[in-house]
């Protein structure tokens, strides 16, 4: 990966979408580790980062994470994610 794709600073972005809030971690290659939280349930997963003209686009990545958060919310409602399942989430 060329150095021009790496932003100088990676601000952590926290947002709440539906009942799920999320925190976007730093850019790692072409992905960000995102922590989704709904009450006592926490789910971590990597999300593909968005790039515009070869540069990391934090706003577009946040929009992408909002889409993923909606899916996480549905899976929590269906009982697919619980505190026990989140224990095997990827490490930061």
- Does 52 reside within a domain? yes
- Does 91 reside within a domain? no
Which residues span the domain enclosing 56? 3-86
Check residue 57 and give its pLDDT.
96
Counting residues of the chain whose pLDDT is more than 90, the rounded percentage is 61
Check residue 2 and give its pLDDT.
45
- Does 20 reside within a domain? yes
**Residue 23 class from Cβ within 10 Å (0-12 exposed, 13-18 middle, 19+ buried)?**
middle
- Does 56 reside within a domain? yes
Number of domains in the chain: 1
pLDDT tens-digit series, residues 4-28: 554 444 555 555 557 899 999 999 9
Mean pLDDT of 47-57: 96
| C-alpha 78 chain-centroid distance | 20
pLDDT at 43 exceeding the cut of 80:
yes
Distance (Å, whole) CA 48 – CA 70: 16
- Does 82 reside within a domain? yes
């Amino acid at each position: 990966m060329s150095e021009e794709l790496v932003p100088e600073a990676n601000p952590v972005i926290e947002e709440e979408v539906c009942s799920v809030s999320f925190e976007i971690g730093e850019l790692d290659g072409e992905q960000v580790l995102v922590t989704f939280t709904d009450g006592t349930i926490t789910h971590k997963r990597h999300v593909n980062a968005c790039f515009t003209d070869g540069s990391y686009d934090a706003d577009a990545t946040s929009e992408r994470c909002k889409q993923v958060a909606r899916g996480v919310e549905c899976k929590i409602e269906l009982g697919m994610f619980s505190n026990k399942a989140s224990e095997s989430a990827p490490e930061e």
